[in-house]
């Protein structure tokens, strides 16, 4: 029997390629005490074929195309733009794909607000993919579904983290002309368990269930994006990365997957067809363009197939050529750099697993400063009174 050798959890990104490829279905993705999934082998059913080791994208080097072009872009639909994390470039790709007969896969919320990979065949269905989800998504048997569709000649667009895209490509084992893969510049993936604990905290705090979540709400503008959580009883919470407990655990690197601290996929030369991420300063690339604080997307095309697809999909986009090195330097730092490890991570998960309330865990490990709370309240006051735009102009 072959044991999947994971001596260090940094060597597994949880992409599901191994469990998807197993011909005897003897590998299951099992949740550890931090809420992350890792492969577990059923010894009785294993036939020692070694396929699980061969498709691991961390252990296997996947060749990438040397083709590269870079752009900044924005969708021409104001409603989509304001509900997108940046400039709505992915929605443009998704719309063109669906209009061209593709099935689109991406991260979405289920009824419990877990993040799961789902498919969409209509633009109405694809609205669930709008906006970033700062949680590692549950893939289930997505890879197998995609392979079945591709082998039938159906067209598929898959979007996910760099490791998920690499895992899918490695699992498939050969290139498919009817597949487009889209990844994004990923800070890291936080724990689904921490997200679940935080949701339970909110349900108790507001005595209501969550109705909607937007991790990158533009209610205060693109450059002041906040997590906005609406409850079924009408109450709402809008907090930034220094004042929201979940966002702070993510951006202060205490709740992230171990593999994210030494990510194997931090490179400009990616195996996917297209990468999308934030463009924080449009005037750097288009000097005569005014920054209206609504966001632009950065886009890197990695293959000729991706270039042809992007060109056709860009009919509903405002597109500008951009220098790749400049994009990476100012907006894509985490395209090439892993997050820094912090020893506070061990204490954070220890307290979470001891059942300490998440507000108490935050107070002990990554306390929210009083000045940040005051700034958050001031921001809310300025927005409520209509003075936010004036304050931003003065700034």
Instruction: Tell me the per-residue pLDDT of 292-346, one tens digit each, with 9 for 90 and over.
Output: 999 999 999 999 999 999 999 999 999 999 999 999 999 999 999 999 999 999 9
Same domain, 103 and 128: yes
Q: Are 220 and 226 in contact (CB under 8 A)?
A: yes
Same domain, 350 and 244: yes
The arrangement of strands across the sheet holding 155-159 comes to 115-120, 102-109, 155-159, 179-184, 274-279, 296-301, 69-75, 317-321
Within-domain flag for 123: yes
Same domain, 174 and 201: no
150-160 CB burial, b ≥16 within 10 A, e <16: beeeebbbbbb
Predicted confidence band of residue 3 (pLDDT cuts 50, 70, 90):
low
Q: What is the pLDDT of residue 377?
A: 64
pLDDT at 369 over 90: no
What is the pTM for the complete model shown? 0.94
Cα separation of 325 and 382, whole Å? 37
How far is Cα of residue 242 from the mean position of the Cα atoms in its chain?
20
Within-domain flag for 28: no
Same domain, 94 and 173: yes
pLDDT at 374 over 90: no
Reference 258, options 55, 33, 57; nearest CA is 33
Same domain, 90 and 119: yes
pLDDT at 225 over 90: no
Same domain, 155 and 268: yes
Q: What are the helix (H) ranges across the chain?
A: 17-21, 51-54, 78-83, 89-99, 142-151, 162-172, 192-206, 245-251, 304-313, 324-331, 333-336, 344-353, 358-365, 370-384, 388-394
Within-domain flag for 45: no
Predicted confidence band of residue 1 (pLDDT cuts 50, 70, 90):
very low
| Domain count across the chain | 2
Same domain, 177 and 211: no
Residue 73 sits in which domain range? Answer: 69-189+257-336
Q: What are the helix (H) ranges across 284-369?
A: 304-313, 324-331, 333-336, 344-353, 358-365
Same domain, 207 and 293: no
Same domain, 95 and 163: yes
Within-domain flag for 161: yes
Reference 149, options 108, 116, 121; nearest CA is 121
Reference 156, options 202, 210, 207, 102; nearest CA is 102
Same domain, 116 and 250: no
What is the chain's percent helix, strand, coil content, to nearest 5? 40, 20, 40
Same domain, 243 and 285: no
Same domain, 292 and 355: no
């Amino acid at each position: 029997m072959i044991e999947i050798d994971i001596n260090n959890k940094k060597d597994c990104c949880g992409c599901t390629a191994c469990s998807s490829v197993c011909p005897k279905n003897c590998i299951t993705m099992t949740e550890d005490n931090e809420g992350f999934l890792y492969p577990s082998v059923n010894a009785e059913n294993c036939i020692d074929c070694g396929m699980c080791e061969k498709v691991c994208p961390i252990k296997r080097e996947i060749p990438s195309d040397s083709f590269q072009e870079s752009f900044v872009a924005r969708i021409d639909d104001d409603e989509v733009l304001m509900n997108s994390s940046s400039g709505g470039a992915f929605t443009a790709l998704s719309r063109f794909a669906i209009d061209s007969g593709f099935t689109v896969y991406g991260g979405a919320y289920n009824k419990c607000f877990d993040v799961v990979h789902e498919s969409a065949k209509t633009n109405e269905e694809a609205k669930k993919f709008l906006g970033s989800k700062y949680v590692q998504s549950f893939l289930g048997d997505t890879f197998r579904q995609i392979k079945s569709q591709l082998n039938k000649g159906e067209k598929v667009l898959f979007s996910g983290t760099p490791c998920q895209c690499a895992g899918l490509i490695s699992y498939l084992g050969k290139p498919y002309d009817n597949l487009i893969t889209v990844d994004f510049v990923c800070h890291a993936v936080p724990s689904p368990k921490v997200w679940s604990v935080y949701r339970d905290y909110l349900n108790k705090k507001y005595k209501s269930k969550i109705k909607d979540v937007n991790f990158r709400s533009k209610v205060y503008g693109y450059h002041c994006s906040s997590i906005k959580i609406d409850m079924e009883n009408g109450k709402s919470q809008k907090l930034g990365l220094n004042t929201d407990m979940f966002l702070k655990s993510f951006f202060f690197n205490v709740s992230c997957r171990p593999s994210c601290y030494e990510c194997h996929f931090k490179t400009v030369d990616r195996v996917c067809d297209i990468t999308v991420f934030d463009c924080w300063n449009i005037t750097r690339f288009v000097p005569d363009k005014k920054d209206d604080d609504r966001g632009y997307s950065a886009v890197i095309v990695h293959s000729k197939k991706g270039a042809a697809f992007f060109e056709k999909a860009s009919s509903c986009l405002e597109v500008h050529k951009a220098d790749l090195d400049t994009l990476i330097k100012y907006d894509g730092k985490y395209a090439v750099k892993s997050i820094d490890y912090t020893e506070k991570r061990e204490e954070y998960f220890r307290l979470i697993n001891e059942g300490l309330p998440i507000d108490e865990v935050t107070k002990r490990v990554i306390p929210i400063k009083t000045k940040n709370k005051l700034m958050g309240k001031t921001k809310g006051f300025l927005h409520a009174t209509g003075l936010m735009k004036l304050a931003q102009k003065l700034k």
